[in-house]
Amino acid sequence: MSITEFSHSKEAFTETLSRILLIPEYRIIKLHLQLEQWGEPCDLSYGKCNLQKAGEILMRTSLSSFLYLNYSLNEAIQHIAMAGFDAVDIWGGRPHAYRNDLHEHDIRSLHNQLDDFGLEIASFIPAQCDLCSPHTAIRMDGIRDIQTSIELAARLEASIISILPGHSLHHQCPDEGWDLLADSLARIGEFAGHYDVLLAIEPADKYASDLINTTVQAMDMIDQIGCDNFGVVFDTGHALIAGEDTDTAIRALGDRLFHIHLSDNHRERDERLIPGKGRFDFQTLIATLKSTQFEGFLTAEPGWQYTLDPDSAAIETREFLEFILQE
């Protein structure tokens, strides 16, 4: 059990308390009000139960800050904590953590906020860039974008950075795109070697990439570039579209499985539905992860359609993850 304690003004306390009480399943362990700042002692403490049994492999839940793209990163972190997640995956687009937007005082503020809420950073998700373009200037810009993201992730103490492969151009031979991507990733891997971070290739759906759609292709790329700091993100939505067998894929990845992204669809397109709303078999996923002793984060990635009411999506997602982890 982990309990995070912090103090507020009377107004902030009232707002925080109302948010917590709106979530009956939040599992408040201790709620103690003292009125010190208003003439008597004041303190608010709350926490979350570890729902897994003693001896079980610990898998923790995270939510991509992308769901709160209409909010500041600080606001996103607050809402994600209030929804009951253990961690946040920081989206590297604006207004959250784009390239050089965050300065030292911003990073200190984020660290303090994460500590206050007892949240970890599960991974850093850079803004999309082109790593396989036949145009050298564009590809080099993409490499620099990822390198900047690596520097920022290290300052944020995020240990995993996910990378999408991109798509070759309509007139470009896919083999050329593959080789250019391999060169880009090799450069990025060498650069990342100077930082305490791991790089995770995320196989994309067939509409977003014609280079890496499966975990097998991701491992082929890792074998080609020969960088020890590369692994794979297993994305449930992308795996469903690609027709991957979950148990086989997870076991084949072994210790190269760095991270898990959770979304759902109906096998036709990357709908980015809340987990459990489509056709992916999450029970098999959790059973395999427990069997292989995976101890990382399970990060939910609800799509654009949920961004106008992100709190409802966050709570519904957390409730589903809680359900499948208890089975």
pTM score above 0.75: yes
Residue 317 tokens read as 């997602």
Split at pLDDT 50, 70, 90, the class of 36 is very low
Residue 299, classed as helix, strand or coil, is strand
Report which of 245, 232, 180, 189 is spatially closest to residue 211, judged by C-alpha positions: 180
Report which of 124, 45, 126, 55 is spatially closest to residue 87, judged by C-alpha positions: 124
According to DSSP H, which parts of the chain are helical? 10-21, 73-82, 104-117, 136-156, 174-192, 215-225, 236-242, 246-253, 282-291, 310-326
| Proportion of the chain in helix, strand, coil states, percent, rounded to 5 | 45, 15, 40
pLDDT at 56: 57
pLDDT at 12: 54
Q: pLDDT by residue (tens digit) across 64-101?
A: 999 999 999 999 999 999 999 999 999 999 999 998 89
**CA distance linking residue 25 with residue 319, whole number of Å:** 8
Report which of 123, 26, 121 is spatially closest to residue 318, judged by C-alpha positions: 26
- In terms of residues, how long is the chain? 327
Q: pLDDT by residue (tens digit) across 136-192?
A: 999 999 999 999 999 999 999 999 999 999 999 888 888 999 999 999 999 999 999
CA R_g for the chain: 20
CATH class of the domain defined by 55-326: alpha beta
pLDDT at 58: 76
Residue pointed to by tokens 């948010």: 19
Q: What are phi and psi of 257, to 5 degrees?
A: -80, 105
How do the domains of the chain map onto residue ranges? 1-49, 55-326
